A and B are shown apart, each in its own frame.
Chain A
Amino acid sequence: MLDFRMACYAIMAIFILLAGGCAPSTVTKPDLPPAGSTGSEGGALGKDQQLGEGRGGTTRESNAPSTSSLDQLKAGKPPVTPSSSPLKDIFFDFDSYDISGDARDTLRSNADWLKSNSSARIEIEGHCDERGTSEYNLALGAKRAQTAKDYLVSLGISVERISTISYGEEIPMCTEANESCWRQNRRARFVAIPSRPAS
């Protein structure tokens, strides 16, 4: 837990240094609750609270998708998507699996990468913030992952190339109890298919 928090601080610190720089467009605006959504109760975020995803995260070879959050957990690393990952996270409102406008842009860019790397197969992870019941959040995470998968498929990516898994609220990227942290945890991640343990 401590490692995650430290990573959070590190990410924040680095972002402040780079403020005004190259925050990905996908996360520089707060999600606006879609009509009919249950909505986010944390209020809109100031720009300085927005975090560039992956900055300060684990070092990875460039142009390869990130590794599974479960493997990151096992290795004692925060489940941060590095900025070098060609596949970016998308974010959701509280208790919602609706895809926002920003998320659509990200999904289109993720689809483009999948089209030009036609042998790549990915796993989409659904995550939630810590609030609420773990079982409901696991089901909500499954919805988030599936909605993202459906969108990629609608953009022409073969369904065979995408698997999904939900981690609910179990592997948070950030562990502070505030909206800026919760928002980062309500996400779908796009990672390389993890290798299965030999059985």
Chain B
Amino acid sequence: MKAKLLFAVLFFTLVHPFTAVAQVRLDVIGPGMPKYPIAISPLKNAATRADAGRISEGVADAIVYDLDLSGWFRVLDRATYIEHPQRSGDTLGSFDFKDWSTIGAVGLVKGRFSVQGEELTVELRLFDVTQGKEVIGKRYTGRARDFRRIAHKFADEIIKQFTGVAGIFNTRIAYTSTSGGRFKEIHVAHLDGSEKYQVTNNRTINLSPAWTPDGKSILYTSYKDRNPSLYLFDLFSGKDMKFSARTGLNLGGKWSPDGQNVAVSLERGGNSDIHLLARNGNIMRRLTEDPGIDVSPSWSPDGRQLVFVSDRSGSPQLYILDVASGKARRLTYSGSYNTSPDWSPAGDKIAYISRVGGKFSIFAIGVDGGEPTRLTTNGFDNEDPAWSPDGRFIVFSSNRAGRYHLYVMQSTGDNQRRLTGSGGDDTKPSWSPRLE
């Protein structure tokens, strides 16, 4: 089926580092630092065949998109570039750094590609213009139509070079969208909107997609059999499995970091409680015993605790539950509506939404409580925060442009960028783990 075709070849690209350069950590980007000026040249076509896939500019465009999204770079306008990519060299000594320092570049990406049959080979290099040296050099091979994935891989390398931790540009976002009309379906797409794939098409209501830790499947809740049950969709085989179909809500399923359990909110007789399910969907333990609402569990990275939402105090607030002992403590005290928690990959913070002046804003709070930090401050609703796998970004939904669209920002709240614009409402994003 369609899913199989799309995802079976996801991890095909090979990487050959061909430049052995000592990893020089350049601590020149990051929060509080000025943006690093960098030029991304279109690639040189090394074969005689015409660039039918627009790969030359396509690879450059994808790298520009990624670096721009990070918020740490100032990508120089291509119109100001002096060199013509096809007529100048892309290796050290075959071009003049002055052509780049003149326009203000400190960093420079150059490269070449060739297509033979369906196979694409791309070489990409990062240069330090000021020091006149090569910093990274990589060769990639893959299918011609996957050129964007190659670009994202190189963008990840650039981020690693500058920060010591690879970027997150080879990831995907699962989300719900009403783009097809009145039905809410699950979709998956790259951060740049490419390789969009519709996971469900059952013409009902599908909710709360969540990636499995291996990045291969998506847990979600669907009304396709009337009862809001939990399903597991395998992106590689296209197989859709009923995971928990107990009468009532089977909602907000989240796979534990070790892949052994699922935390989920099960509702019976109006009372929702957090439960721990085994891999086969059987109930292992009921984790909350409260008569009120208990929903939206999110695991701590060590799998020992869960943050969840409860109205046991009379209004929705965040609580942290110790899975072994079952003891819960209240985390949020300011505001009368705090929901949608997501535990950060570093383990130290929880992103959530809080209602302020009738609008919803995204906040982050330390796991030990204290003063929350407000991350969105516009006069619109900002909801559904989800951390990137490196913890440096948060994806969320906002109605600041009319309908709900997905946005990404740095974990500080800076550099907010719109990701989607489907025409419907795009909500409830879940950020995949790093994909190869």
Q: Hey, which bits of chain A sit against chain B, CB under 8 A? A: 1, 3-4, 36, 38, 41, 70, 73-74, 76, 95, 131-136, 138-140, 142-143, 145-147, 149, 164-167, 170-171, 194, 196-197, 199
In-complex Cβ contact of B249 among A70, A132, A138, A171 (8 A): A138
The reply to whether B228 and A138 contact each other, CB–CB distance below 8 Å, is yes
The reply to whether A41 and B358 contact each other, CB–CB distance below 8 Å, is yes
Q: Inside 8 A of A145's CB, which chain B residues have their CB?
A: 270
The reply to whether A139 and B203 contact each other, CB–CB distance below 8 Å, is no
A199 and B172 alpha carbons, distance in the complex (Å): 34
Within B161-194, the residues touching A (CB, 8 Å) are: 178, 181-184
A167 and B248 alpha carbons, distance in the complex (Å): 11
5 tightest A-B contacts by CB? A146-B270, A133-B339, A139-B293, A139-B272, A133-B340
The reply to whether B205 and A167 contact each other, CB–CB distance below 8 Å, is yes
Give the total number of A-B pairs whose CB atoms are below 8 A apart.
Answer: 109
Q: Inside 8 A of B182's CB, which chain A residues have their CB?
A: 1, 3-4, 73, 76
Q: Inside 8 A of A140's CB, which chain B residues have their CB?
A: 293
- Contact A170 B184, CB 8 Å, known A38-B314, A95-B316, A138-B251: yes
A37 and B172 alpha carbons, distance in the complex (Å): 41
User: B65 near A: Cβ within 8 Å?
Assistant: no
- Contact A95 B315, CB 8 Å, known A135-B208, A139-B295, A170-B184: yes
Nearest-CB residue, chain B, relative to A39: B336
Count chain B CB atoms within 10 A of each CB in A41, A143, A167 and give the residue with the most: A143
Q: Inside 8 A of A167's CB, which chain B residues have their CB?
A: 205
- Contact A134 B428, CB 8 Å, known A38-B314, A38-B315, A139-B295: yes
B side interface size, CB within 8 A: 48
The reply to whether B226 and A197 contact each other, CB–CB distance below 8 Å, is yes
User: B427 near A: Cβ within 8 Å?
Assistant: yes
- Contact A139 B265, CB 8 Å, known A132-B355, A133-B353: yes
Count chain B CB atoms within 10 A of each CB in A1, A3, A74, A134 and give the residue with the most: A134
Nearest-CB residue, chain A, relative to B292: A143
Nearest-CB residue, chain A, relative to B427: A134
In-complex Cβ contact of B204 among A38, A41, A74 (8 A): A74
- Contact A142 B272, CB 8 Å, known A135-B265, A167-B205, A171-B205: yes
Q: Inside 8 A of B226's CB, which chain A residues have their CB?
A: 70, 165, 194, 196-197
The reply to whether A142 and B249 contact each other, CB–CB distance below 8 Å, is yes
The reply to whether B249 and A134 contact each other, CB–CB distance below 8 Å, is no
A140 and B292 alpha carbons, distance in the complex (Å): 9
Q: Inside 8 A of A76's CB, which chain B residues have their CB?
A: 182
Q: Inside 8 A of B269's CB, which chain A residues have their CB?
A: 146
User: B234 near A: Cβ within 8 Å?
Assistant: no
The reply to whether A142 and B248 contact each other, CB–CB distance below 8 Å, is yes
- Contact A70 B204, CB 8 Å, known A1-B182, A165-B227: yes
Q: How far is the CB of A153 from chain B (nearest CB, A)?
A: 11
Nearest-CB residue, chain A, relative to B203: A74
Q: Inside 8 A of B270's CB, which chain A residues have their CB?
A: 142-143, 145-147, 149, 164
Within B357-373, the residues touching A (CB, 8 Å) are: 358, 360
6 further interface pairs, Cβ-Cβ under 8 Å (given A132-B339, A135-B309): A70-B204, A135-B208, A136-B339, A142-B248, A147-B270, A165-B226
A140 and B383 alpha carbons, distance in the complex (Å): 18
- Contact A139 B204, CB 8 Å, known A132-B360, A145-B270: no
